[in-house]
Amino acid sequence: MTSADYHATGRDDRIRVRRGEVVIGRPLPWDVYDESGQLLLSKGFVVANPRQRQRLLDEGLRSPLQNLPESAAADTDTASSIGGNPFVTIDQLTVRLEGILSMVQQQNRVVSPQQRIRKMGRDIQALCNYDADAALGAAHLKHDTSYPYRHSIHTALLCELVARRLNWSVAQRLSVIAAALSCNVAMTALQAELVEQAEPLNDAQWDAIQAHPQRGRAMLEAAGISDELWLRVVMQHHECINGRGYPAGMRGDDVLPEARLLGLADRYHAMVTGRSYRNGMLVKDALRRIFLDAGQEVGSTLAQMFIKELGIYPPGSIVRLANGETAVVIRRKGELGGPMLACIANSRGEHYAQPLYRDSSEQEAYTIQDVHPSPGAVPFGLSRLWDY
């Protein structure tokens, strides 16, 4: 939009830039003007620090014509209401999923599960367009809701981000997301049990795990799901191309690429998520495992795309900097090309009173040295770290 366009919308139409719309490390989705109508910052400008952000909140006005980033509007097949705080959105999605899946489990045909789960899928696509880095941060650090539903939402977010990189169509991605949200519908109670269980599986648990893809497909069909790709991905999400998966022991290209992606995202998220009896695996170890096992399980191309999308230090990684500080990676790329960081502790491990934002490319001292081997508790909530 040009300055002339701005004035053409009428000065009474201009609206103030709101908290939640300006995020540190992310490009502005629109031009921003001051009170007099002069261009303050152009669309695409990356807000680098809290000072710039505060100035925008104090002085910034924008056209009301465009509420969403263009990519979000163009890439989803419905007007999306996603905006504001993505971590709140993820909480809402988790509650919605629990409600829908419990109705599928009770065989309540009134709920239109296909429509409702696909609507959730479009919201997840919009969320990934709105703030992919926050979505990745949640997948690594958000542990405060019921595991089976949280795991499904985060797996769906990972699938969408990698499928976008693979240039899969919106419709194809939607079927994968829907499968990610519903593939464990036949074992949500068991999943919740296993996340607390340090002992090996007993026979009944083992049988239920082996049967859950088939049972899940049957439950979804009975509930009215008719999307064949969605159903096939649910059936195949534990198959591996080396024939060692289940339930059918399929091999090679017989396993759908969409099912391989879901299987990969499912395993990765399970690896990095802690259990009540153990911590989650360090991100770099999980990515290394994917790199080493991938050719056997899902194929090397898909595994490489997965690793490429996340990067070595995906958002949510807790790292140590050259100056000894502990930081959470909050964005894959800041203005200078390196990850953006929220520093949480000094070199002696003492927590800061508030997160200190750094661009890892700005100074040698802020360079990431390694993943933190024993980071301990993060003293801030995700909304605070991501500055929402």
Nearer to Fe ion, 80 or 184 (CB): 184
Q: Which two tokens stand for residue 261?
A: 């992606």
User: Rounded to a whole number, what is the distance in angstroms from the first to the last CA of the chain?
Assistant: 26
Give the interface size with Fe ion as a residue count (CB under 5 A).
Answer: 1
Q: Which helix (H) or strand (E) holds 235?
A: helix 228-236
Nearer to Fe ion, 152 or 317 (CB): 152
CB 188 within 8 A of CB 101: yes
Shortest-Cβ-distance residue relative to Fe ion: 184
State the SS3 of 44-109: CCECCCHHHHHHHHHHCEECCCCCCCHHHHHHCCCCCCCCCCHHHHHHHHHHHHHHHHHHHHCCCH
Contacts to Fe ion from residues 84-143, by CB under 5 A: none
Find the shortest distance in angstroms from Cβ 152 to Fe ion. 9
How far apart are alpha carbons 325 and 327 in whole angstroms? 6
Find the shortest distance in angstroms from Cβ 241 to Fe ion. 17
Find the shortest distance in angstroms from Cβ 233 to Fe ion. 11
Find the shortest distance in angstroms from Cβ 237 to Fe ion. 6
Nearer to Fe ion, 22 or 219 (CB): 219
Nearer to Fe ion, 215 or 351 (CB): 215
Contacts to Fe ion from residues 160-189, by CB under 5 A: 184
Find the shortest distance in angstroms from Cβ 187 to Fe ion. 7
User: Does residue number 236 form part of the binding site for Fe ion (CB under 5 A)?
Assistant: no
Site string for Fe ion, 182-221 (x = CB under 5 A): --x-------------------------------------
Query: What Å distances lie between residue 156 and 21, 121, 319, 382, CA to CA?
Result: 24, 8, 25, 19
Query: What Å distances lie between residue 53 and 29, 46, 56, 59, 222, CA to CA?
Result: 14, 10, 5, 10, 50
Find the shortest distance in angstroms from Cβ 246 to Fe ion. 10
SS3 368: strand
Angle subtended at Cα 266 by Cα 118 and Cα 90, rounded to the nearest 5 degrees:
50
Contacts to Fe ion from residues 18-47, by CB under 5 A: none
CB 229 within 8 A of CB 172: yes
Nearer to Fe ion, 76 or 184 (CB): 184
- The residues of the shown chain that bind Fe ion, judged by CB under 5 A, are 184
